[in-house]
Each structure stands twice: as structure tokens, then as C-alpha cells.
């Protein structure tokens, strides 16, 4: 659960939908003579229709997050164009929710640019030595007058080659324990001190990047939250990521629809054992979807539960089991691959391309956005109240930690 969800007390649903209806109608009037999509998107933002659960003035109307789908539908029905969030995944899913909570007024102007796709964001969190243990980041930011100078190496950065700005977690104090020496920045990607290299993956393509920072500059005015507060700010971002990854879908939406359709189309490789397995996957997908509906209904009723943290684990397990099945059910066709060429996709689809791609890509589902093991720890410790893991690094200054 993000801070936003738990802090939000939704009003009467009818009043909320009326507020959305009124905003859509006003936006439709204001956008009547506009032909440029980006200008229309700006109008939507100005009317609180970018992320309706955000506060007024930050692209929202302060209503329940569960009404996003409702707003999306109404805006579409009014004939207004809407930006594709996949063109700014990190901006929409991670940067915007974090800026909405921690941003200064000046930083909040980025929200509009994120929504209108005028500024594309990427994420500089993980490092070769800081994966699940994100608080171990070693990239240093050193104060230089009104600026900070950043040096280090980041990894798993999707879209870095196209990004204008990155959300960055860097170490600003090595004399305190690791969680306390981090600071969160919004850094310009297009500058001499930032070098982006594709990182080739098991699919053959370079969906992600390595980013090398060498004395890169970020003004102090681009610091999000206080110095040393980076861990707390980053957790807002990561919780948003988990919520956005585990979101709902229609029945047979997602991978199960692709595989079920393929099964229905071809009788070539059918047998009763595979059929039983496929329906088992269908059951798992449908049960996961049903839990998502309950979760959304709880959110809408102002009673968020902790169940959301389990959604991403199920999603990854189901996607991996199903993509594995997908290969096995098709005979040779399941083994064909379009191309191993090293490409730089600007976006990707978990359900795209072919079974081999989906099988390989799904391996990342239990890693990206928090490994399954870390999420299980979080559930065990924060939800079930079981003791935390034995830690040797919590009270040791970062510079004295064995690395």
C-alpha cells in the first residue's frame, strides 16, 4: 500500500464520480479547439484528470484511486485523447506518485510534463552491489555549492537512452548507517557526466541499461525530500511500483488470454493432460483476478488491506508457470524465435512477440520491482508479525561496512 492509499479517505462515491464528470465536461469545453494531443493532455492535467486520486493542483481531484478506470472511461467517452502511460512508465508509475507526496511546488511542475510526455523519466536505483538490498547503494553525491556532484554505476535502467530525467537514489553521507545516508534526486540525463550503455538480456535485446555517472551535476533544488531521507522517499516509489505492477484486468486479460486463444485456435498438440494443466493455469489466473477485484473494492470503500503485497508474487508465479506451459503445448512452433538481434525496444509487452520471448521475459517478473523473496519477507514481517531477519548492517556506519 502506498502512503497515498492509506492516507486517503474517499468521500461518497457519488460525489466523487460527480466531481469527475464535471471535470471531464469542463476539460472537453476547454479542449474543443485544440488539435495537438499534447495540448489536450495539458488541459486534462489542469482539470485534475491526469491521476484523479492525486491532490487538486497536482493533476488530481483527491478522489479514490479506484476511480481511475472510471475517469479513463469518461475521458475517452468525451472524445478526448489520453497519453499512453507505457511511453513514460517510470514517470507515471513511480516518479509522479513520489513527487506528488514529497515534491516542492517547483518540482510539482514536472507532474504536468510527465503526463503530457514532455519529460520522460527513468529510474536510477539498483546497482551492481545493491539489488534487493537497495539501501546499500554506493553511488556518491557530494555537495558542490548549490549543486551536487554524482559519481557511480547504476543498472537495470529501462528507457535510460530516451529519458530526460531520472529519479536517483545516491549516498550523501557515509558516516551514518546505510539507511540514513541516502538522498533522493531528480537528475537530468542529458548531460556530459551521464553515459548510458545497453545491457543485453537473455531475450537477446537490451531492454535495460547500465548508467555510468561521472561527476554528473544535479542542483540542490532537484533534491526530493530532505537530505538523508532518501530511503523513505524511495519506499513511496517502490510501493507505487508494486501497486501498478499488480493491477487488475478483465477475465482472460493478460497472458492467460493469449495462451487460451492459442489453444482454441489449434487442435494440433492437444492432449488431456495438457488440457488439465491449462485449465489449472486458467483457475490460478482467474483467482488472482478475483482477488484483485476484492482488493480494488476494499480500496474504493476506504478499507485498504495488506493483500496487495501478495498480488505481485502471484502475478510472477502465474506468468512464469503459464509461459513455460505455452512453450510445451505448441511443439516446434513453441520453440521458434523471431530474432536474437540486440535491439533497444522503447517499450515491451509481457504478452508480446512469441512463446520463447514470453518465457524468457517472464523470468524477470519475480525479480523486477522487488524479488519474490523480499516480498515474502515483507509479508512475513509486516503483515504476519514474524521476527525480522538477523541483521549485521543496521547500526554500522556505511563506510565501515564490509562490501
Partner 1 sequence: MTDIDLLPTDIDGDLRDNVRALLAERAPAQDVARVYDEPDFDAPAVDAGIFEELELAGLVIPEADGGDGAGLSAAGTVASELGRVPAPSQFLSSAVTASRIVFRAAAAERRTGADGPAHKLMRRLATDGTTAALAMDVTARKWTGSLHVSANTAGPSAADDPLEPGRTVELIGIVHGVADAHRADLLVVPARTVGGALVIAVANASDAHIHTFASIDETRRLSEVKLAGIRARVIAVGDGAQRALERALLDTLAVLACEQSGIVDAAFDAGLAYVKERRQFGRTIGSYQAIKHRLAQSWIVANQMRAAATAAVRSVDAADAGTVSRTDAAIAVRTASAYAKAHTSRIVEEVLQFHGGNGMTWEFPIHLLLKRAKLDEVMIGGAEAQRDALGRLIDL
Cβ 371 to partner 1 shortest distance, Å:
11
For the chain, the residue count is: 403
Cβ 293 to partner 1 shortest distance, Å:
5
Cβ 280 to partner 1 shortest distance, Å:
6
The dihedrals phi and psi of 48, each to the nearest 5 degrees, come to 75, 25
User: Can you give 127-172 as a three-state secondary structure string?
Assistant: ECCECCCHHHCCCEEEEECCEEEEEEEEECCCCHHHCCEEEEEEEC
DSSP state of 184: E
Q: Is 3 helix (H, G, I), strand (E, B) or coil?
A: helix
User: Can you give 376-401 as a three-state secondary structure string?
Assistant: HHHHHHHHCCCCCCCCCCCCCEHHHC
Cβ 262 to partner 1 shortest distance, Å:
11
Distances (CA, A) of 63 to 91, 222, 260, 363: 21, 28, 37, 36
Which residues lie near partner 1 (CB under 8 A)?
251, 260, 263-264, 275-276, 278-280, 282-284, 286-288, 290-291, 293-294, 297-298, 301, 303, 307, 310, 313-314, 373, 375-377, 379-381, 383-387, 389
Judged by beta carbon, residue 202 or residue 376, the one nearer partner 1 is 376
Known active-site residue 341: no
Answer whether 358's CB lies under 8 Å from 255's CB.
Answer: yes
Judged by beta carbon, residue 387 or residue 402, the one nearer partner 1 is 387
Q: How far apart are CA 110 and CA 188, in angstroms?
A: 12
Strand 208-219 relative to strand 165-171, pairing: unpaired
Judged by beta carbon, residue 81 or residue 371, the one nearer partner 1 is 371
Q: How far is Cα of residue 83 from the mean position of the Cα atoms in its chain? A: 16
Q: How far apart are CA 188 and CA 54, in angstroms?
A: 25
DSSP state of 93: I
Q: How far apart are CA 17 and CA 82, in angstroms?
A: 19
User: Which residue among the candidates 241, 252, 277, 286 is catalytic per the annotation?
Assistant: 241
User: Which amino acids are annotated catalytic?
Assistant: 241
Amino acid at each position: 500500500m502506498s502512503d497515498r492509499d492509506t492516507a486517503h479517505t474517499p468521500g461518497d462515491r457519488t460525489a466523487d464520480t460527480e466531481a469527475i464528470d464535471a471535470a471531464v465536461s469542463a476539460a472537453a469545453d476547454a479542449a474543443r479547439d485544440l488539435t495537438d494531443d499534447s495540448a489536450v493532455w495539458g488541459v486534462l492535467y489542469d482539470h485534475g484528470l491526469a491521476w484523479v486520486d492525486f491532490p487538486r493542483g497536482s493533476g488530481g481531484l483527491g478522489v479514490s484511486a479506484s476511480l481511475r478506470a472510471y475517469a479513463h472511461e469518461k475521458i475517452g467517452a468525451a472524445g478526448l485523447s489520453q497519453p499512453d502511460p507505457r511511453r513514460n512508465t517510470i514517470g507515471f508509475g513511480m516518479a509522479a506518485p513520489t513527487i506528488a507526496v514529497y515534491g516542492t511546488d517547483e518540482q510539482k511542475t514536472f507532474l504536468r510534463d510527465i503526463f503530457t510526455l514532455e519529460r520522460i523519466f527513468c529510474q536510477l536505483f539498483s546497482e551492481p552491489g545493491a539489488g534487493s538490498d537497495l539501501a546499500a547503494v554506493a553511488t556518491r553525491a557530494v555537495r558542490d555549492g548549490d549543486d551536487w556532484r554524482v559519481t557511480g554505476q547504476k543498472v537495470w535502467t529501462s528507457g535510460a537512452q530516451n529519458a530526460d530525467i531520472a529519479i536517483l537514489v545516491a549516498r550523501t553521507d557515509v558516516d551514518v548507517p546505510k539507511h540514513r545516508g541516502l538522498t533522493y534526486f531528480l537528475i537530468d540525463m542529458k548531460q556530459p557526466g551521464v553515459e548510458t550503455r545497453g545491457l543485453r538480456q537473455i531475450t537477446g535485446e537490451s531492454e535495460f541499461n547500465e548508467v555510468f555517472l561521472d561527476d554528473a551535476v544535479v542542483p540542490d533544488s532537484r533534491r526530493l525530500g530532505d537530505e538523508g531521507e532518501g530511503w523513505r522517499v524511495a519506499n513511496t516509489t517502490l510501493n507505487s511500483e508494486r501497486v501498478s505492477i499488480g493491477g487488475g484486468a478483465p477475465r482472460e486479460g493478460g497472458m492467460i488470454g493469449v495462451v487460451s486463444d492459442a489453444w482454441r485456435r489449434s487442435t494440433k498438440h492437444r492432449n488431456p493432460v495438457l488440457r488439465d494443466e491449462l485449465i489449472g493455469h486458467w483457475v490460478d489466473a482467474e483467482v488472482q483476478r478475483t482477488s484483485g477485484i476484492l482488493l480494488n473494492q476494499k480500496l474504493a470503500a476506504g478499507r485498504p488491506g495488506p493483500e496487495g503485497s501478495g498480488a505481485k508474487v502471484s502475478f510472477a508465479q502465474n506468468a512464469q508457470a503459464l509461459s513455460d506451459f505455452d512453450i510445451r503445448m505448441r511443439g516446434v512452433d513453441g520453440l521458434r524465435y523471431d530474432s536474437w538481434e540486440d535491439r533497444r525496444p522503447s517499450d515491451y509487452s509481457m504478452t508480446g512477440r512469441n512463446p520463447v520471448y514470453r518465457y524468457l521475459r517472464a523470468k524477470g517478473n519475480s525479480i523486477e520491482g522487488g524479488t519474490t523473496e523480499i516480498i515474502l519477507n515483507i509479508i512475513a514481517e509486516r503483515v504476519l508479525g514474524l521476527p525480522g531477519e538477523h541483521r549485521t548492517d543496521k547500526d554500522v556506519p556505511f563506510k565501515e561496512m564490509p562490501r
